[in-house]
């Protein structure tokens, strides 16, 4: 009797098995239907699976850590239940980002955890990527001086860098790159000037909008000495 081990199947899915037998001088194919087989669902654990840091082309998946975990298997399916991404991670991982996704599209992330050579379904979460040009975070002006504006913005995991575009009220736009993240101070500005500020994120070469803000530098005052004239001498009473 021949025994075949079929691996890589999904849990809780019915499969129809059969065997092709090649017989005769012309290798005639004979199909033997073995009938459907229902696989027992893998056990569940509460993995607290969540999705955050959503942009128009990426989703970040987070889950709870477990002791004695050998590996995690993260699967992403689209709104048609088609698998668009799968990643196996070591037992120390607690998050993973899927990039290069379609904008304004519904996705579901599913997490399996392998503990002591057994697979457990940790949970799933779903979200929709943003339309192109939709801010994925928030940008706030923290403080201003006569020549600088400090902004605070939403940081995105796995960001390579951040781009800060700032345009003055004359329409002049300049760009700075921040590798440190938030907060960030824009230096060498003109006093008493309005600035429109845009923060972008760069992840694996892709640029995404984080958000926009408006700030105005402070006024620069020049102290002018006052000429009070010659001092007045008191009148001589004699």
Give the chain's count of helices (H) and strands (E): 0, 17
Give the strand order in the sheet containing 95-98.
50-52, 59-62, 95-98
Token pair belonging to 207: 């640029």
Per-residue pLDDT of the chain (238 residues; tens, 9 = 90+): 455 556 555 555 666 666 655 555 555 555 455 555 544 445 555 668 898 878 888 888 998 888 888 899 999 999 998 999 999 998 888 889 898 888 899 999 999 988 877 888 888 999 999 888 888 889 999 999 999 999 999 888 777 889 999 999 989 999 998 878 889 999 999 999 999 999 998 877 778 889 999 999 998 876 666 666 656 566 666 6
CB 162 within 8 A of CB 200: yes
For the entire predicted model, the pTM comes to 0.57
C-alpha closest to that of 65 among 87, 46, 52: 46
Strand, coil or helix: 67: coil
Is CATH 2.60.40.10 correct for 139-216?
Answer: yes
Fold of 43-128: Immunoglobulin-like (2.60.40)
Q: Where in the chain is the domain with CATH 2.60.40.10?
A: 43-128, 139-216
């Amino acid at each position: 009797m021949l025994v075949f081990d079929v691996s890589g199947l999904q849990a809780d899915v019915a499969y129809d098995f059969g065997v092709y037998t090649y017989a005769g001088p012309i290798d005639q194919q004979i199909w033997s239907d073995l009938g459907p087989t229902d696989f027992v669902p893998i056990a569940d654990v509460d993995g607290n699976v969540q999705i955050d840091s959503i942009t128009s082309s990426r989703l970040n998946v987070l889950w709870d850590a477990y002791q004695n975990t050998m590996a995690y298997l993260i699967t992403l399916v689209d709104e048609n239940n088609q698998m668009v991404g799968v990643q196996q991670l070591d037992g120390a991982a607690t998050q993973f980002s899927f990039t290069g996704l379609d904008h304004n599209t519904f996705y579901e992330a599913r997490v399996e955890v392998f503990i002591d050579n057994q697979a457990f379904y940790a949970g799933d979460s779903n979200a929709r990527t943003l339309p192109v040009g939709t801010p994925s975070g928030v940008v706030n002006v923290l403080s201003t001086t006569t020549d600088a504006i400090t902004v605070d913005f939403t940081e995105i995991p796995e960001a390579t860098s951040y781009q800060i575009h700032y345009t003055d009220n004359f329409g002049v736009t300049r760009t700075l790159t921040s590798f440190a993240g938030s907060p960030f101070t824009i230096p060498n500005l003109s006093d008493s000037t309005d600035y429109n500020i845009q923060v972008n994120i760069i992840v694996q070469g892709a640029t995404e909008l984080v958000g926009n803000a408006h700030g105005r530098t402070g006024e620069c005052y020049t102290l002018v000495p006052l000429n009070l004239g010659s001092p007045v001498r008191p009148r001589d009473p004699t």
